[in-house]
Structure 1
Amino acid sequence: MDVDAKQYVSPTLPRARVLLEDASGGVHPVDVEVAATPEARTRGLMWRQELPAGQGMLFVFPEDEVQSFWMRNTLIPLDMLFIDSAGKIVGVVENAQPRTLTSRSVGLPGRYVLEVPGGWSRAHGLVSGGTVRFQGLEGIPVVP
């Protein structure tokens, strides 16, 4: 079945935690589903009706590359934080408009993309250059 289809039933994804440090040293935890396979990365948060504050989806790629995302079949606005393998936020796309095919990228290589509810990153003072730590990713295999 097509992973883009509304009726597709996604397998349960592994869970982890992302700790994001703001400019003044405050740490903001986000509990995430981890999309580490091609199918999970393609499906992402499509067709979700809501995403509560403090929750998100972490897309994990095999290596640092310039990543690009769209919002096709995504029903809610999202912030996208692009993170490199050293744990640095290399860019943020705020309030990506739902149900669009516009390509969203920050033009810099990253290994991770964290999607959180639209407006969440600004509300928590998260900007490029911030530091990110991960808890619980160690045992999750990343499939190219």
Structure 2
Amino acid sequence: MRIVAALLAFVFSAGVLLADCRPDQVELRGAFGKARFLVELADTPRERAVGLMHRESMAATAGMIFIYEQPQAVSFWMENTLIPLDMIFIDQSGTVARIHENAIPLDRTPIPGGADILAVLEINGGLAAQIGLAAGDVLRHPGLPQDLAVWPCAAD
């Protein structure tokens, strides 16, 4: 319970000053307030293929963002992934299009993200619901096209 309380204190913006956009973090904004995750970037085919496979744990404030060259239909699975994950599918404007919660470790069932997806954020399973993240919320990261972003890096 202490970990969840510490995490919520970290992610909600009440006492957190969000820094300028950086490649190693994403920021989310919605009715819940603002949240920040430190992320690894997977933006090559090889990095996207490996993702978070074979990891036994991930810090509560960590994640991985997958960024594609262009919007497309994407589908993920959990083969060789040992921890449950929430998958947050993002369009080119940075808007959350869909959330798949608590993907089952080692499951090979495809998890479709929908059409016109430019990025996918993976965080620990159950965290999206704990934060209150919902479709329509927005994400910012310097790897997304800033000219199309609902919440560009230069904006607060």
The reply to whether TM is greater than 0.5 is yes
- Whole-Å Cα distance in 1 between the matches of residues 116 and 58 of structure 2? 26
Superposition RMSD on alpha carbons, in Å?
1.6
Which residue of 118, 124, 129 maps to 1:122? 129
Tell me by how many angstroms 1:108 deviates: 3.1
SS in 2 for 1:127: coil
Of residues 105-114 and 77-86 in structure 1, the stretch that sits farther from structure 2 once superposed is 105-114
Q: What are the equivalent positions in structure 2 for 1:1-144 lying under 5 Å apart?
A: 15-24=23-32, 26-135=33-142, 137=143
TM-score (norm 1): 0.81
TM-score (norm 2): 0.75
Tell me by how many angstroms 1:75 deviates: 0.3
Unaligned 5+ runs, structure 1: 1-14, 139-144
SS in 2 for 1:105: strand
Extract structure 1 runs of 4+ deviating beyond 3 A. Answer: none
- Note if contact 1:58-1:114 (Cα within 8 Å) is conserved in structure 2: yes
Structure having the larger proportion of residues in helix:
2
- Whole-Å Cα distance in 1 between the matches of residues 115 and 103 of structure 2? 18
Unaligned 5+ runs, structure 2: 1-22, 145-156
User: Alignment identity in percent?
Assistant: 40
- Whole-Å Cα distance in 2 between the matches of residues 125 and 43 of structure 1? 28
Tell me by how many angstroms 1:22 deviates: 2.4
Q: Which has the higher contact order (CA 8 A, sep 6+)?
A: 1
